[in-house]
Structure 1
């Protein structure tokens, strides 16, 4: 089934609230009942002790896969757990069909620890272009949404972070060292300089939300997995921010980016952070 641009625009105009409801229900049915109640057998490692998956991840993704596919016939779903089981399913991001990019529990380590810093991320894209996104933090009762060309919103209030306050150190969240190559580590060291206050990142989705709200000035990440970045990048962009890879191009969810990359609350800050990253990567 071919889904054209007009059909997607009409879908977003009339059914965005249905997507919101699906995201909320996935959290209510499959995530929150397991929060702070996980049994040992409900938690597994995927690629080491910092890469966890739980029954909440699996069951929430299954719920969203069925619900989102039914809402937009002809669309496909690329979810983190499905790609872990079959990496070839990631290729749908580069296809012609509308694709839902899903991270059912972003910040699984925080979820397992019983912290509130986790969220559900959903983005709709086609041909590599991000069209809409949903960031839902159920334990914090926060819902952020964005539609391309229509702005970014948090619980119905428009997000406009503006520029960082003059004279203050830039607050920047950076990649966990477990997910960086030696070259990327050298590039990220460029942020350890006067005028910047870097810190380790938590949930990527919530870090992007902090940028879109103006609570953080930027992020610098060294991995490409679209489910971690798609929703947040559109949120930041629609709030007035920008994102750049080391080559100066915007980040592409289809991959092939020169890493690390940065996203920031305004373009000037994004360019400043990119320059610092490049200074150590030459």
Structure 2
């Protein structure tokens, strides 16, 4: 666990942090409309990939490597074990000079994340989780307490494009939730908010594995839930799989949030 954390910190120090608010002309590329990558992403991924292979010689599924060769993501289904790497989660924030970005990795076995690491370069905060062994922030065990029973006290996150008729609980007036925000544009920043007790639920639609595998394990190991809307636990599937993911600080909050989102909560009527 410590070796991987060191790899992320060192790659960040070498490739990412020197370019924060100092990107030169030509160091930002648009992979697709609105989807940015920088030389820092690519360099950090190369460093992390090499070092992780030295630690455990299994395939590495990196966000930027998959952008160049989408077939690499099949390792998540076809290989018994592989690494997942997101060299800069929140690249848009990084490019804009906003501090909400993270460097992340996870180890996946048979489609399930068994270990995860999230590094916040700006705040120098390290999160980690190991399946069945717990979640930590800077070496301190994280145990999330259940949310207040009243949804009017809950703090949640849901992207604005999900609030257009698909989910009644996101368009209801007044809202059943106490606070509903757009989010921080970086899953590696948002998931720790659940483990740290600053948020009660997160609702995502598109779930790329490098974005969600680390945080899902962190939340589960701190006492929370990360599951599809049908209740099946989150798995690190290749891009293009099932959409929709609800994350909550405890099982009861997950179930009530799902019911509210789908307009099936009798208690709110």
Common fold by TM > 0.5 = yes
Deviations, residues 133-164 of structure 1 (Å, cap 9, x unaligned) = 00000111110000001100000111112112
Evaluate the alpha carbon distance shift between residue 91 and residue 224 of structure 1 in structure 2; reply closer, same or farther with a 3 A threshold. same
Question: 173, 177, 183: which is aligned to 1:201?
Answer: 183
Secondary structure of 1:120's match?
strand
* 1:56 counterpart = 2:35: no
Q: What's 1:22 paired with?
A: 7
Q: CA deviation at 1:175?
A: 3.0
More helix by share: 1
* 1:191 counterpart = 2:170: yes
* 1:259 counterpart = 2:238: no
CA distance in 1, matches of 2:95, 2:138: 26
Q: CA deviation at 1:83?
A: 0.6
Q: What's 2:267 paired with?
A: none
* 1:44 counterpart = 2:23: no
Deviations, residues 36-84 of structure 1 (Å, cap 9, x unaligned) = 10012101112212x21111111101111101011002x1100111111
Q: What's 1:5 paired with?
A: none
Secondary structure of 2:247's match?
strand
* 1:241 counterpart = 2:224: yes
Q: Unpaired runs of 5+ in structure 1? A: 1-15
Evaluate the alpha carbon distance shift between residue 188 and residue 100 of structure 1 in structure 2; reply closer, same or farther with a 3 A threshold. farther
CA distance in 1, matches of 2:133, 2:177: 33
Q: Is the 8 A contact 1:191 1:273 kept in 2?
A: no
Secondary structure of 2:99's match?
coil
Give the TM-score normalised by the residue count of structure 2.
0.90
Q: What's 1:32 paired with?
A: 17
Evaluate the alpha carbon distance shift between residue 141 and residue 223 of structure 1 in structure 2; reply closer, same or farther with a 3 A threshold. same
Secondary structure of 1:216's match?
coil
Deviations, residues 171-192 of structure 1 (Å, cap 9, x unaligned) = 1112363xx6xxx853345234
Q: CA deviation at 1:266?
A: 0.8
CA distance in 2, matches of 1:186, 1:260: 15
- Alignment root-mean-square deviation, CA: 1.8
Secondary structure of 1:146's match?
strand
Q: Unpaired runs of 5+ in structure 2? A: 265-269
Q: Is the 8 A contact 1:245 1:251 kept in 2?
A: yes
Q: Is the 8 A contact 2:61 2:75 kept in 1?
A: yes
Q: What's 1:269 paired with?
A: 253
Paired residues in the alignment total 258
Deviations, residues 215-253 of structure 1 (Å, cap 9, x unaligned) = 111110001210000000000000000022121211221
CA distance in 1, matches of 2:73, 2:103: 19
